[in-house]
Chain A
Amino acid sequence: MRNWRAGLEIALLAALAAMPVIATVTAQPFWLDVATRLAILALAAAGLNIILGLGGLVSFGHAAFYAIGAYAVAIPAHHALYGGADWLASSNGLFHVALAVAAGALFALVTGALALRTKGLHFIMITLAFGQMVYFLLNALEDYGGDDGLPVDQRSELPLMSLDDPLHLFGLSFALLAVVLAFTWRLKNAPFGLALTASARNARRMRAAGLNVFTVRLAAYVLAGAITALAGALAAEHAAFVSPAMAEWTRAGELMFMVILGGAGRVLGPLTGAAAFVVLEELLSSWTVYWHLPFGLLLIAVALMQARRAA
């Protein structure tokens, strides 16, 4: 079972890496677009995987980080192109990415410090509340399109590459995904990761052992927020469009679904989860407008199977 899953993960990673070749050979650049989307969603899920998978904390507001990262790209780019807010205006991709990561980390630090005072269901709900606040705040950003969202009419400038080239954008997304997955792998086996997973199993015992569980969890939450914000930045480049919908609670639910389906806490889990989600969405929605029916049934089946296995 375990080998089968690991094999699938490796095969997926290889297939994703080979996607530029496949897209070129088949003359179907669309596949590259799907692959880029997949890599970005996997990266976002990889962030959630740290707090949900390793830390066992169900964050139901994680889409907020995705949106924060996206707006950190879109807003400076908007000003660079159309003027205004000189202190923020920039088309420099390095600045955008730094801003996205910093904003995600800062928001995680503040909300995490508050949210981690609660546990269980209350943690789910307070993270949801913070997510909803971001959602409504973005809706109120009249200058940046409000409810309608904001097109990114000029993608960020990076040294040595052009993000307008789908191949470069895919390369960047894939490389960042690979780096983060490798980082997760190191983290999982480092003392910090062990402390985090052990806290998920039995926080009381870890506290008795002298570990500051709160600090460990907060650090993980900040890390998770920063990574998902990074994914959001890439999503803004990819879609050339940002909108408050990126922060919706249903999007947070989708990210959770990816992490769970891929196997919570598995290093390459977010990749399989995101792949399953993208394939399902593409396939089911092209078969039938009632695609929520099979999708919902599948969710129920996954949850029931999960529960049976845990029992």
Chain B
Amino acid sequence: MDATLIASQLVNGLQLGLLLFLVAAGLTLTLGVLDYVNLAHGAFYMLGAFFSASLLELTGDWPLSVLLALPLLGLTGLITERLVARPLYGKSHLAQVLASFGLLLVIGALAMLIWGAEGRAIALPHALRGQARLFGVVLPVYRLVIIAAALAVAALLYVLLHHSRFGVRVRAAAANPRVAQALGIDTHRLHAMLFALGAMLAGLAGALIAPITEASLAMGAQVIIIAFVIIVIGGIGSLRGAFVAALLAGLIDTFGRAFLDTLLARVLPLEAAETAAPALSAMSIYILMALVLIARPRGLFPPPARGGAA
């Protein structure tokens, strides 16, 4: 294993982890603050990809298509919050799981009606299709763009939640919803905004990954489970936890794919090692979650316990 290979895999893992963070961030906020299990969160990720694909066809400008997709995603978030999520706040997790699973199916079917089953490929501007040399490692420019964009959004999110009125209210509502309400915070509005923010973050991740893979119907169901795993490892409601766990997940997945087969081949026959490696690397994140939950049942970075009605 040479250094450049490890370095390029590090970048790959980082990029994957950061995208996963964007999806997990909204999820951990809705679950931590609103105590709402949203299986349909993955649908926003998928919609982000399709919205930007359609907007690209309309405008012909890729960065613009991603930017314009964001308000659409926020709007979708607001609508689903009002119709499906809000009636279920404070209700059993089971009801929330059922309803949001149903919503996932509904959005999937609607997307199939609108965009067809085949998915959409997204063409990048020529400037982003090339490669860059960084410390002797050749990397696709676009992957660096994703990393930069995701880091910027993560920083913005940090500022928003820790250094703004919105953030103060969110944290107040998370710590004690009743007191927050008593203090005159419009919790309905706050919840809706938070939900929309989560939808936009997930959708941004979908819009960013689509030029690499493509916009497809299956993306939502694929990402949702792994996003849940990430926020559970990180500690539900903790953005910092989601960030660490997402990077961990991205790196584990990439390094598992990159090096596990060669490692296993030292102890197993080649055929068996080749087959076992992808399964084992796919399983590793779940093993990590089980271990974390057994050792620290509330995750790595549990936010302070909720006061009031729990």
Residues of A near any B CB (own CB < 8 A): 58, 60, 114, 117-118, 120-122, 124-126, 128-130, 132-133, 136-137, 139-140, 142, 146, 249-250, 253, 256-257, 260, 290-293, 295-300, 302-304, 306-308, 310-311
Contact = CB atoms under 8 A, between A and B. Distances in A.
A58, A302, A307: which has the most chain B beta carbons within 10 Å? A307
Contact of A129 (B37, B96, B271, B289): B289
B302 to A, nearest CB: 11
A126 B293 contact: yes
Given A122-B297, A137-B279, A299 B225 contact: no
A122 B293 contact: yes
Contacts of A311: 91
A132 B225 contact: yes
The 8 closest A-B pairs by CB, nearest first: A299-B102, A296-B105, A140-B279, A303-B99, A296-B106, A293-B109, A303-B98, A300-B102
Contacts of A140: 275-276, 278-280
Given A114-B294, A120-B93, A290-B113, A302 B98 contact: yes
B298 A295 contact: no
B109 A303 contact: no
B98 A114 contact: no
20 contacts: A58-B97, A126-B289, A128-B225, A129-B289, A130-B286, A136-B280, A136-B282, A139-B282, A140-B275, A142-B271, A142-B275, A256-B94, A260-B94, A295-B105, A297-B106, A299-B105, A300-B98, A300-B102, A303-B99, A306-B92
Interface in B68-117: 84, 87-88, 91-99, 101-106, 108-110, 112-113
B283 interface: yes
B99 A136 contact: no
Contacts of A114: 290, 294
B141 interface: no
A253 B101 contact: yes
**Interface SS of chain A: helix, strand, loop or mixed?**
helix
A303 B113 CA distance: 25
B294 A299 contact: no
Nearest to A61: B286
Contacts of A307: 87-88, 91-92, 95, 99
A132 B94 contact: no
Nearest to B228: A125
B251 interface: no
Given A121-B37, A132-B286, A300-B106, A58 B297 contact: no
B290 A292 contact: no
B116 to A, nearest CB: 11
A125 B225 CA distance: 9
B201 interface: no
A58 B93 CA distance: 9
B272 interface: yes
B91 A122 contact: no
B280 A297 contact: no
Contact of A306 (B95, B101, B106, B110): B95
A304 B287 CA distance: 34
Contact count band on B: 35 or more
Contacts of A139: 279, 282
**Interface SS of chain B: helix, strand, loop or mixed?**
helix
Given A117-B293, A117-B297, 20 more contacts: A58-B94, A129-B229, A129-B287, A133-B283, A140-B275, A146-B275, A293-B105, A296-B103, A296-B109, A297-B102, A298-B102, A300-B98, A303-B95, A303-B96, A304-B84, A306-B98, A307-B87, A307-B88, A307-B95, A311-B91
B98 A292 contact: no
B236 interface: yes
B60 to A, nearest CB: 31
B219 interface: no
Nearest to A250: B221
A136 B109 CA distance: 27
B232 interface: yes
Interface in B217-238: 221, 225, 228-229, 232, 236
A257 B93 contact: no
A299 B94 contact: no
B35 to A, nearest CB: 9
Contacts of B271: 142
Contacts of B109: 290-293, 296
Contacts of B228: 125, 128
A217 to B, nearest CB: 15
Contact of A299 (B98, B112, B287, B289): B98
Given A118-B297, A124-B97, A304 B283 contact: no
A80 to B, nearest CB: 23
